[in-house]
Structure 1
Amino acid sequence: METRRRVWWCMTVFDVGAELTFGRPVLWPAGGFDVALPLNVHDWQLTASSAKNPDESQENTLYSALRVYATLYLAIVPIYARMTSKPYPLAEELIALICRDSLETPTLALFWKYWNFKILMYLPFVARDMLHASRSNESQSGHSTPSQDRWLQEAKSTIMSTKDFWEQQERTRLGAWYAL
């Protein structure tokens, strides 16, 4: 049963991750399923003869990151669904719905997805502000709106984090994929 659960969450994490990364609508259901999160246990702790699930590990396992991604997606998919409905939520409402957790180096990709998600949140406000400025012939030089400032800050956070990761961490194919 745990293997099935892990496969389901792996497929879900890849699907939702790609949709959020590329700004596509999420087709994953925000509810209506009863698949528990994968257990944070080592493979060797589960056997065919296991009568019950082992206690979850307090250390990182092969499935720790999967569990973190799944938890993030459970939190943000309903928010993203709200963003793709009408009326678009206010910036203050979106900010209040998202909280930032500190994550270890192996889950930096989660931060990058988080910042990318916030960039997507502010994009309609930035586009609106720029369209308003162009229609009213206002000069954009040296003047920015609060939503543009937040949008640029999130982009800067992503760029600086990726730069630091690339300069300081061992380079792997998976790390390169997420960093790029």
Structure 2
Amino acid sequence: MKLEFEFYEEIRGNFVNILEGLELHTGVFSERDERRILDCVFDIWDKGFVGLLMKKTYSKPQKWMRGKGQITIQCGCYYNFAKDRLGNPSGILRYDEVDPLPSEIKRIIKRMVRWSILPANYIPNSCIINIYEEKECILPHINYHDFVKPFCTISFMSKSNILLGREIDIVGPGEFRGSVEIPLLVCSVLILKGNGADLTKH
């Protein structure tokens, strides 16, 4: 099932649907699919934890506040989230190597293309896997413009809500206030493109 969304905010005197381009797909993956994908993710996680992956593939920053504690695994390319100690700006660092996409991730990408969730001329060759502890989150942001749209995110293990808005206020550590909250079911696929990807924080 595919859901699309509308929420209008005034931008420079015009009312604009800030959720235009967002699509939520359910029923794409079964529990068996989820188990297979999670086995793959946990295998990568274990290898990263003991140092068996390329250096930039796996990172676990020291947690100093809620919203800053997730494990990040990058495959296919390395994205620098902020200016680093070497002076590299945020963005894709093309000369920093990470491990390639696992075959299980390639398999689910093929399914999404086959089901027309992703366009046939858009075959992702990279992914970022975020692993959160309970009640953890990611800080409000707009998806990285270095990546080709549409941008796709899949939720596994537990349902959660995604908060969206032109502006998202921080009301406390890991707590935010935005315009719209959309529930993401287990195994749901959220496609971000158009205004939903380029204008709206989540």
Q: Structure 2 length normalisation: TM-score?
A: 0.25
In terms of fraction of residues, the more helix-rich structure is: 1
Q: Structure 1 length normalisation: TM-score?
A: 0.27
**Structure with max Cα Rg:** 1
Q: Which has the higher contact order (CA 8 A, sep 6+)?
A: 2
In terms of fraction of residues, the more strand-rich structure is: 2
